[in-house]
Amino acid sequence: MRKFLTIIIIVCVINLINLFAQAPEDFYIIRMDESTLRSLITKGKVDILMKKNGKYYLLVDRTEVRRFLRKGLRFEFAENELLPPVSKHGLNGAYHSYSELERDLIDLEKSYPEIAKVFDIGDSWENRNIYAIKISDNVEYDEDEAEVFFVGCHHAREWISVEIPYLLAHYLLLNYTQDSKIKWIVDNSEIWIVPMLNPDGLEYSITTFRYWRKNRRDNGNGSYGVDLNRNYGYMWGYDNIGSSPNTFSQTYRGPYPFSEPETQAIKNLFEQKNFKVAVSYHSYSQIILYPWGYKKEPSPLNDLLEELSSKMSELIYQVKGNLYEFGQGGSFLYLTNGDATDWFLGTFNIPAFTIELPPVDFISGGFFNSEEDIIPIFEENLPAALYLIEWAIITNN
């Protein structure tokens, strides 16, 4: 019996050693409550990453983990918890609904009050808030730093287009104190992120009809919705190919430019700021598009746009080997008028990009991405987003 117990103990010890020996990183993110944290603070310095839902998240190394275990401190590993979105129970799985995004953005602001601030930049037709999160040092002040803009979810059914800008905000905040490059980016720029421009449409897509694209304007004739990405003021309604005057059409451009409160919110924000570059996330196709969309002829910034897209495509490819082709929207893909990027360039003369996220075509998933693909898609897009911010900072200086 004693021999048997000895063998069991040896096996357990070996397994425990192996557990740590197999850990891929030297550092861990752990979660604990306030009382446990207090007992630690009295005994030395701790590296607190953030506070979320009443719990504190700490970055600790292997030695500290062992020490905490020996002392019998109560904590949990939370490595994966900080990356993916929180809720996985509702109709939308790991994707954000409006209220989930609202909660998560406010959580980010509370966790990083020095460098993150949430703004309500306007209301949708159904009176939902359109949120923007600003990320910068001295976030309360409008400094003379490069302002960059990221927006997602012009189109309701493109759920992944909410996650990428949200995760970008999350990543910048989470890594601000850990990564000197991220700190430099945040300290030298003002990053504005609007993850969900079309909250009404997204909610309708989640609760009622998955393939819904437009916003939720009642057109008054039995049809609903305006295509927000055909409602911007530059070359609005240029022709009936790049947008439609038919209210039942998927690309209905609205009764007049900026007729929609959602696009009006973007217009107001741009008129107050001095953005240097802008990105609008969409899906699907796995391509990078730049203006003009309304015609096939190139824009005055065509060389710069091509250079920047080429670099972004290269950076994306380097992550997992996925090729994002790039080109001018009007000639490379199809004609669009009244879209966001034409307005960004046409009105403010800044480089602007539509990034069509994976998959590559309709039969490979179309507007669907598995929940497991959210993080990989973000990871491959991250270097391109950081590159654009860096470019804006350097250009600004």
Partner 1 sequence: MFRRTILIFLILILIPGILKSQCVIGQYEDEAPFRTWNIFGVYDARSTGMGESLFGLIEEPLGLLLQQNKLFSFSLSFISTKAEFFKYSFINTSDIYFPRNLKASYIGMDFAYGLIKFKDWFFGLSFTQPETYFRPAVEVNYSYKGKTYRTIKANFEGYLNSLNFSIGRRIGELITVGIGIHYVYGEITRKIEDDYIYYQVITTDNRSQKISGYYFSLIILANPSSRFKLVVNFRSPYTRYLDSESSLRYYSSRKQIEIRINGNARDEIKIPLTVGSGILYEIEEDLLLSANIIFFNWSNYRVTYFDEERKREFKNTIKIGIGLEYLTHLKIKNYLFSIPIRTGYIYDPQPMKNPNSYYNYVTMGWGIYYKKVGVDFGLMFGKENGSGNSLHASKLICNLNFQL
Q: Longest C-alpha distance within the chain, in Å?
A: 87
Compute the distance between CA of residue 390 and CA of residue 396 in angstroms, rounded to an integer: 10
Strand order in the sheet with 189-194: 116-123, 129-135, 189-194, 146-152, 275-283, 352-357, 287-290, 325-328
Backbone angles phi, psi at 55, to 5 degrees: -110, 150
SS3 354: strand
Q: What DSSP assignment string belongs to 243-286?
A: SBS-TTSTTB--SSTT-SHHHHHHHHHHHHS-EEEEEEEEESSS
Q: Assess contact for 98 and 132: CB atoms under 8 A.
A: no
Kindly give the interhelix angle for 62-71 and 2-21, rounded to the nearest 10 degrees.
Answer: 140
CB of 378 to partner 1, least distance (A): 17
**Cβ nearer to partner 1, comparing 22 with 208:** 208
**Cβ nearer to partner 1, comparing 180 with 208:** 208
CB of 195 to partner 1, least distance (A): 18
CB of 340 to partner 1, least distance (A): 23
**Cβ nearer to partner 1, comparing 2 with 89:** 89
Instruction: Determine how β-strand 352-357 pairs with β-strand 287-290.
Output: antiparallel
Compute the distance between CA of residue 155 and CA of residue 281 in angstroms, rounded to an integer: 10
356 is catalytic: yes
**Cβ nearer to partner 1, comparing 252 with 343:** 252
Among the options 147, 158, 203, 356, which is catalytic?
Answer: 356
**Cβ nearer to partner 1, comparing 364 with 395:** 364
CB of 325 to partner 1, least distance (A): 19
Element (H, E) at 4: helix 2-21
Chain residues binding partner 1 by CB under 8 A are 87, 89-93, 95, 97, 99, 125-127, 200, 204, 207-212, 216-218, 222-224, 248, 250, 362-366, 368-371
Structure tokens at 117: 């601030």
| AA identity, residue 219 | N
Report the Cα 190 to chain-centroid distance in Å: 15
Comparing CA positions, the residue from 376, 379, 292 lying closest to residue 338 is: 292
CB of 370 to partner 1, least distance (A): 5
CB of 208 to partner 1, least distance (A): 5
**Cβ nearer to partner 1, comparing 98 with 353:** 98
* Residues labelled catalytic: 356
